[in-house]
Amino acid sequence: MSKKFIYPLLPVLVATSLALSACGTAETQGTPSSVSQDASASHGASALVVGEPWVKASKDGMTGAFGILSNTTDHDITVVGATSPAAATVELHETVPGSDGTLQMRAKDGGFVIPAKGEFVLEPGASHIMLMGLKSPLAAGDDITFELHTSDGGRLSFTAPAKDFSGANENYEGSHGTDDGHGAMDPSGEASHPASPTQSK
């Protein structure tokens, strides 16, 4: 696991991070509302914190979300899924060398395991949260909400700003060509910038 960039966590992020519910209800699509905060002692009052979150701005298709997942507990936490109102589907991806030597991204079997008292870094070219089927363009500066689901039924909501980013163009495993990578917004010129001001939040 890469631990190249470790930052103090922002208070605002800590504030929006919720203790994982030990008794989370079944997954619900749509707005990731605040989670019931039943930090049951029987499950170790597990707490996951999302730091430095951001999303690559994209006009359509797919994009990635990044950040640092910190486990404040003394037992491992496994993130098994995620949802966001911004995308039809959200998956947990890892990036691995493909048979042709190029990096390929694929769904991470078993989810992301955040070690006890440890961190799990989501970054371009490595593990990330994959948004597929964007419902509308994600313009730079938009705030995107997410909900992470853990193996013990917990939920964690967080908000990440969208940023123009030229990288994070990994290929999808099994696909060919570069068009399957995360859809870039191409911020270099207005002509290729389809986001209208009305899409901002």
Kindly list the residues in this chain that would bind other proteins in the complex (CB under 8 A).
Answer: 4-5, 7, 11-12, 52-54, 56-57, 66, 139-142, 161, 163-165, 167, 185, 187-188, 190, 193, 195, 197-198, 200-201
Closer residue to other proteins, CB minimum distance, 148 or 168: 168
In the complex, least distance from residue 195 CB atom to other proteins, rounded to whole angstroms: 7
Q: Residues 176, 100: contact at Cβ < 8 Å?
A: no
Contact 61, 183 (CB under 8 A): yes
Q: How far apart are CA 154 and CA 78, in angstroms?
A: 10
Instruction: Write the CA distances from 6 to 52, 66, 163, integer angstroms.
Output: 9, 13, 20
What distance in Å separates the CA atoms of residue 73 and residue 51, rounded to the nearest whole number? Answer: 16
Name the residue nearer to other proteins (CB basis): 73 or 95. Answer: 95
Q: Which helix (H) or strand (E) holds 13?
A: helix 11-16
**To the nearest whole angstrom, how small is the minimum distance from the Cβ of residue 198 to other proteins?**
8
- Compare residues 11 and 177 and give the one whose CB is closer to other proteins: 11
Residue 73: DSSP 8-state: S
- Shortest distance in whole angstroms from residue 182 CB to other proteins: 13
Rounded least distance, CB 165 to other proteins, Å: 5
Indicate the residue among 166 and 175 with the shorter CB distance to other proteins. Answer: 166
